Amino acid sequence: MAARTSKKERGLRIHEYLYFQVLSPGDIRYIFTATPAKDFGGVFNTRYDQIHLVPADPPEACGELNNGVFIQDQIALVERGGCSFLSKTRVIQEHGGRAVIIADNAYDNDSFYIEMIQDSSRRTADIPALFLLGRDGYMIRRSLEQHGLPWAVISIPVNVTSIPTYEMMQPPWTFW
């Protein structure tokens, strides 16, 4: 009898990175690095060539969203703080989001990844949850505000192993 692998085992593993590229707006057309939640949420089994990254309103996404209709079938950009990582993920899932990217609320954080873990509620979430550096989240939101745009267009996940290092479009403020 063949061994069965769980959903978690087939997808991205703990301590691995997942990459996404902002396609629009053009001034932040970079490849960003995120880390998956340690012990909750789903995995990326689908590649999205073009999907909206919608900043949640309110940014912390701890309750009802003012722009929940725009999160349906898209990926939400949420800010850390106010409630647990799992609570944020469940709010986005309840609004029909495909995944959530939670940016650190320390806007100067350009190198320290937080390990997102389950809270003590015994609740679960099915959509992928990723952690993004605070500086990256801030720069994405700032660019959208400067252009008056309600969302960015991204490609996720991006396979960076096939991209030569000199062609990697890395954010200039992030050290790789």
The tokens describing 12, both together, are 């991205």
Residue 136 is assigned to a structural domain of this protein? yes
Does any domain span residue 32? yes
Total number of domains constituting the chain: 1
Question: Does some domain include residue 33?
Answer: yes
Indicate the residue type of 153. Answer: V
The sign one gets for the Cα dihedral 34, 35, 37, 42 is: positive
- Domain assignment of residue 8, yes or no: no
Structure pTM?
Answer: 0.87
Q: Identify the domain containing residue 75 by its residue range.
A: 18-167
pLDDT 10s digit of each residue in the chain, 176 long?
433 333 344 444 445 899 999 999 999 999 999 999 989 999 988 999 999 999 999 999 999 999 999 999 999 999 999 999 999 999 999 999 999 999 999 888 877 888 888 888 888 899 999 999 999 999 999 999 999 999 999 999 998 887 777 677 878 776 65
**Spatial separation of the C-alpha atoms in residues 22 and 155, rounded to whole Å:** 7
Instruction: Read off the CATH number of the domain in which 38 is found.
Output: 3.50.30.30
Q: Is residue 1 part of a domain?
A: no
Is residue 5, in this structure, part of any structural domain at all?
no
Q: Is residue 30 part of a domain?
A: yes
In a domain, 173, yes or no: no
